[in-house]
Chain A
Amino acid sequence: MPIEHVDEVRHRIPKGARHGMRTDVLFYASGSILEQVEKDRALEQAMNVACLPGIVGPSLAMPDIHQGYGFPIGGVAAMDWDSGVVSPGGVGYDINCGVRLIRTNLEQDEVRARLKELVDQVFRDVPCGVGGKGHLDITEKQLNQVLEQGAGWMVEHGYGEPSDIEHCEEHGCLAAASAGEVSARAKERGRPQIGTLGSGNHFLEIQFVHRVYDEEAARCFGLHEGQVVVLIHSGSRGLGHQVCTDFLAQMGAAMKKYGITLPDRQLACVPIQSPEGQSYLKAMRAAANFAWANRQAMLHFVRGSFQKVFGRRAQLALIYDVCHNIAKREKYEYQGRTVDVLVHRKGATRAFPPRHPEIPAGYRAVGQPVLIPGSMGTASWVLAGCEGAIEESFGSVCHGAGRLLSRHAAKHGRDARAVQRELEQHGILVRSETRDGIIEEVPEAYKDVDEVIEVVHQAGLARKVARLRPMGVIKG
């Protein structure tokens, strides 16, 4: 495929590269990331996205791009609100998969002294839910409230503090969600799983701030070197998966009605303004609210774990919570006009710059905290949104390291206990409900997260604030 190198980190596939493309593909990568990206079908998928009706601006791909289903993971596409389409594949099965970062008032040394006790306590208190259910029993009526109230429902019912809500994207709740649009199956699949972590690449890590790169922003987010933080990476569990499955099936049939033909079934989409499109958006928002409530419950459990080990002096405060699998209506100035778009972020994080009204007042001077989880046992990052993201990527940046090896390849010749021992030698304790949870997520299975961050920093989409390193990992 013809790739034009715009500069060191920006690359373009022009819209004429393949029949049906309505726009260019613009992607961000360093030289070595570019070599890796060309090995799978991710760029071809970004070209497929460029074929979708109503796309505004280029089909974007972040440096953590890898092959997904339909959309590439690390893909961003803005669709015209009136004439564009909505695609469940552009959000993914794990609706509002996201990250929350919690700061503690504890330092690395004091936590390391009791790390085993703490990791074991968190492992008991935060269910992974790979097999069974979580610790929370909610009725169907309460689930319907969760679907429309998100994280706020948890706080109202004693699972958190009011300030937690202020520090979530969208205050932990998307308006215009409808529990009525979520199928009985999705509710039944998700209800026992609320307050659980899940498996795959989801994890909870006890980390410490390894290095601060931007003192002002770090101070604003309440971070300093050596401080212990907790990062939770999880989503909407079986509820979100079922919503995606339900609507993909419906949309496959509805596309004919709207005369939409696509190169990949997983890209199934319908006009945003169609009854099917509106119905999906209401269900997707409800699933997103479930995910915020899910992460809020886990924050509450983690607070309990820290206090069981360190007593009442352990204080945990939410820095921020961001989603990276979502479609949201936003407005931008694009090529001299205001565009009203539905931004699909499939493995991409919102990154609003300083002074943006939609970020918490306390962070407005420095920009939105952008939370980028690494892979198990490697660094994670805190960034701050920059103007560049508004100017060229519809307020979006990367979401993680991005996979390099398949799960199958990652397992090859590896033993879970040996991986666990090796991580322990590096000062990282791992607890997992499954053996596969450890071997499939070995650090070697992912790109170098530091290199991914360097690309978005250089591109001016977000800037480095702090690098975090893990001490304890809980996995499904």
Chain B
Amino acid sequence: MAEYELLDHTADTGFRVCGASLEQLFIRAAEALVDIAVDSSRGQARERRTVRCSGPTVEDRLVNWLNEVLWLLDGERFLPAVIEELALEGESVRAIVCGEPRDDARHRPRIVVKAATFHQLVIREHNGMWEAEVFLDI
């Protein structure tokens, strides 16, 4: 079950996620993105995909990671059901994503997400908890 809060934006949509670590924050952000695009409640972890990306700043890494997840959804037509592990090392992100090929009958599409953006992107840490606000172009 994706845990996120929707944020208002005149043209598009945003979400706020929290995590006990930066890794958990990245996982929750990906879950939010998937949930906004597709009803993934009936998604099953049948196949594994390894996702790698990098970026010079934590903001770049989060946006690039989300756009990789979007590529799985929209380019590879693969529904991520569970993010099994996610490692952040230096400038790189590596994750193992489990899911299955998208089937619109079981995974009802909600809206086409064009991209995760840098617009009003916030990543912050407070008392050991991480929080991010991300806006998506819809």
Q: Which of B13-71 contact A (CB under 8 A)?
A: 13, 38, 56, 59-60, 64, 67, 71
A297 to chain B, nearest CB (A): 18
Contacts of A377 in B (CB 8 A): none
Contacts of B56 in A (CB 8 A): 253
Q: Which of A402-455 contact B (CB under 8 A)?
A: 403-409, 433-434, 436-437, 440
Contacts of B124 in A (CB 8 A): none
With A253-B56, A406-B10, A407-B13 in contact, is A244–B115 under 8 Å at CB?
yes
A296 contacts partner chain B, Cβ-Cβ < 8 Å: no
The dominant DSSP class at the B interface is: loop
Q: Which residue of B lies closest to A253 (CB)?
A: B56
Interface string of A116-135 (1 = CB under 8 A from B): 00000000000000111000
A68 contacts partner chain B, Cβ-Cβ < 8 Å: yes
Which range contains the number of A residues in contact with the other chain? 35 or more
Most buried by A among B11, B115, B118: B11
Instruction: State in angstroms the CA–CA spacing of A308 and B120 once bound together.
Output: 49
Asked whether B115 lies within 8 Å of A199 as measured between CB atoms, the reply is no
Contacts of B137 in A (CB 8 A): 69, 92-93, 241
Contacts of B74 in A (CB 8 A): 189, 238
* Cβ-defined partner of B111 (8 Å) among A199, A244, A266, A403: A199
Contacts of B11 in A (CB 8 A): 66-68, 73, 403
Contacts of A249 in B (CB 8 A): 60, 64
B109 contacts partner chain A, Cβ-Cβ < 8 Å: yes
B8 contacts partner chain A, Cβ-Cβ < 8 Å: yes
How many chain B residues have a CB neighbour from A under 8 Å? 34
Instruction: State in angstroms the CA–CA spacing of A318 and B138 once bound together.
Output: 28
Asked whether B8 lies within 8 Å of A241 as measured between CB atoms, the reply is no
Contacts of A92 in B (CB 8 A): 137
Q: Which of A257-281 contact B (CB under 8 A)?
A: 264-266
Asked whether A93 lies within 8 Å of B8 as measured between CB atoms, the reply is no
Instruction: State in angstroms the CA–CA spacing of A242 and B60 once bound together.
Output: 16
Contacts of B10 in A (CB 8 A): 40, 42, 66-67, 403-406
Q: Which residue of B lies closest to A237 (CB)?
A: B112
Asked whether A69 lies within 8 Å of B111 as measured between CB atoms, the reply is no
27 A-B pairs with C-beta separation under 8 A: A93-B114, A93-B137, A94-B114, A130-B112, A131-B38, A131-B104, A185-B75, A189-B75, A241-B115, A244-B114, A245-B115, A265-B121, A266-B117, A266-B118, A404-B10, A405-B10, A406-B10, A406-B13, A407-B13, A407-B138, A408-B6, A433-B109, A434-B109, A434-B110, A434-B111, A436-B110, A440-B111
